[in-house]
Amino acid sequence: METSKVIHAIYTDDDVLMSAVKKVKAERYHIEEIYTPFPVHGLDKAMGLAPTRIAIAAFMYGLVGLTVATVMMNFIMIEDWPQNIGGKPSFSYIENMPAFVPIMFELTVFFAAHLMVITFYLRSRMWPFKEAENPDPRTTDDHFLMEIAVDGNEEALENLLKDTGAVEINLIDKAH
The one-letter amino acid at 97: M
Candidates 64-72, 98-106, 152-160, 168-176; binding stretch for another protein (CB under 8 A): 98-106
Q: How many residues bind another protein (CB under 8 A)?
A: 6
Give the residue with the Cβ less far from another protein, 96 or 139: 96
Comparing CB distances to another protein, the nearer of 28 and 41 is 41
Residue number with CB closer to another protein (10 or 69): 69
Q: Specify the amino acid at residue 34.
A: I
| Residue with smaller CB distance to another protein, 109 or 167 | 109
Give me the DSSP letters along 19-49. Answer: HHHHHHHHTTPPEEEEE-SSPPTTHHHHHTP
User: Which residues, numbered 30-59, are part of the site for another protein (CB under 8 A)?
Assistant: 55, 59
> Within a 10 A sphere around the Cβ of 145, how many other Cβ atoms?
22
For the CB of residue 44, give the shortest distance to another protein in the complex, in Å.
Answer: 15
Helix (H, G, I), strand (E, B) or coil at 11: strand
Instruction: Give every strand in the sheet of 168-175, ordered side by side.
Output: 31-35, 144-149, 3-11, 168-175
Indicate whether 91 belongs to the interface with another protein (CB under 8 A).
no
Contact footprint for another protein (CB under 8 A): 55, 59, 87, 98-99, 101
